[in-house]
Structure 1
Amino acid sequence: MMIQINKRLSKVSEYINHNKLADIGSDHAYLPIFAIQNKLVKEAIAGEVVKGPFLAAQQNTKANGLSNVIDVKLGNGLEVIDETVDVITICGMGGPLIAQILDDGKDKLSHYPDLILQSNIHALPIRQNLQQLGYKIMDEILVKEKKHIYEIIVAKKGEMTLSAKEMKFGPVFLKHKDDLFIEKWEREIVALENITKQLEDHQDQSRNNEIKQQIVQIKEVLA
């Protein structure tokens, strides 16, 4: 039975063409199963730290007859990885958590597997970590699903030196400001403006001024 995956995981899968995948926070192992079924990889690790999804991943892998090529592991972050993987996916988490997972498991990145990282919010810490870890961002993609806009960052071994603006907005996104990019940051302006209204009567206006500066910066980027 061929498995169906959602729009954002489908976009992630477009960047998988490798030998062995490690999917961290694999949930029900949908992405590894899809990748094997569509011959995007030959084998995979489905890593999950929570017992419930781990058991569901085992069950799904077995139901699809893939227990011999997908190794479902219970473990935290990159600790489930062996040295043979050549691509790592981390999807469906906040940017700070993804960055922390990479940093905590940096000993598993010594051979520089490709990284495909899909954050729900705040991708800036991911870019900071990738630069420190010796990775270069090759592509950045936005996907809209059920009104939420998700960021995907694809990185390979390489050097980069990002400016503060590139760290915040994304070096590839800044070159191609598509409709989703504009929508994402226009939404951010609305959210920040709502915060400034709440802070208008606050004694300490430093936070309010800081947010107003952020709004000005976003408007400059969108101009």
Structure 2
Amino acid sequence: MEEINLSKRLKEVASLVPVGSKLLDVGSDHAYLPIYLIQQQKIRSAIAGEVVQGPFESALSNVKANHLEGFISVKLANGLDALEITEQVSVITICGMGGRLISSILENGKEKLASITQLILQPNNREEELRNWLVNHQFTIIAEKIIEENGKIYEIMVARPGHSHLNEQEKQFGPFLSLEKSPIFKKKWQKEQRKLLLALDQIPQSYQSEREQLSKKIEMIKEILDES
């Protein structure tokens, strides 16, 4: 058995998984995260879900190579179809996908979320859409992280069942990230501001509604950066 060497991004996700959990990892990326968590004796068992045949077979192979067949079940399934309600999973991780796709996965399997105590989500984009979905479906964000790895910036959010409200600024920038305003947070939004200003220059004056929409977002970014 070889200890899995996770990326910085997935190590951060792993650090947020509660000890003793039963995990469903959706889009499991070769089952690296569940294997690591079992090796660290942090979780009791896991389901690794994959929708694509190649990564599914790779996950099976990795679990077998680490002699963890008794702890990790690998399933070829789309999203939360990998989960049977009787399996008593308490935590779901979904990492490395767009925020819109993660929202869609949760929406399509929302009847299976009743027993879930925690969602740990790492969207690659459209984080505000995911936060909006969580709020609209009675989840409250209890923690957020922002990290940089290999020149890319990633946001991670942890949510649990419960009513919450986020204003537009909190949906866009994160209720915790917008308070902390870390150097990585500032770097991300300074880069986004420059990109949007360039895009605004390319939009003809006649496209008034598009210009207004873009200008509004640029102003929101300016306000959050000016507050820091």
Counting only pairs closer than 5 Å after superposition, residues 29-108 of structure 1 correspond to structure 2 as 29-83=31-85, 84-108=88-112
The answer on whether the counterparts of 2:98 and 2:123 sit within 8 Å (CA) in structure 1 is: yes
Q: Secondary structure of the residue that 2:73 maps to in structure 1?
A: strand
Q: Secondary structure of the residue that 1:4 maps to in structure 2?
A: coil
Q: Secondary structure of the residue that 2:176 maps to in structure 1?
A: helix
Residue aligning to 1:114: 118
- Please say if 1:221 is aligned against 2:224: yes
Q: Secondary structure of the residue that 1:137 maps to in structure 2?
A: strand
The answer on whether the counterparts of 2:123 and 2:154 sit within 8 Å (CA) in structure 1 is: yes
Please list the CA deviations of residues 120-172 of structure 1 after superposition, one character each: whole Å capped at 9, or x if unmatched: 11111111111122211010100101111001000112210111111111111
Structure 1 unaligned regions, length at least 5: none
Counting only pairs closer than 5 Å after superposition, residues 5-16 of structure 1 correspond to structure 2 as 5-16=6-17
Counterpart Cα distance in 2 of 1:202 and 1:81: 50
**TM-score relative to the length of structure 1:** 0.96
Counterpart Cα distance in 2 of 1:151 and 1:81: 25
Alignment coverage as a number of residue pairs:
222
Q: Secondary structure of the residue that 1:65 maps to in structure 2?
A: coil
Residue aligning to 1:152: 156
Counterpart Cα distance in 1 of 2:108 and 2:117: 16
Offset of residue 221 of structure 1? 0.9
After superposition, the CA RMSD in angstroms is 1.1
Counterpart Cα distance in 2 of 1:52 and 1:175: 41
- Please say if 1:166 is aligned against 2:170: yes
Offset of residue 202 of structure 1? 5.3
Residue type of the alignment partner of 2:82: V
The answer on whether the counterparts of 1:79 and 1:108 sit within 8 Å (CA) in structure 2 is: no
The answer on whether the counterparts of 2:49 and 2:79 sit within 8 Å (CA) in structure 1 is: yes
Cα distance, 1:163–1:36 mapped onto 2, change above 3 Å? same
Counterpart Cα distance in 2 of 1:43 and 1:91: 18
Structure 2 unaligned regions, length at least 5: none
**TM-score relative to the length of structure 2:** 0.94
**Runs of 4+ in structure 1 displaced over 4 angstroms?**
none
In percent, how many aligned pairs have the same letter? 43
The answer on whether the counterparts of 1:143 and 1:149 sit within 8 Å (CA) in structure 2 is: yes
Q: Secondary structure of the residue that 1:143 maps to in structure 2?
A: strand
Residue type of the alignment partner of 1:33: I
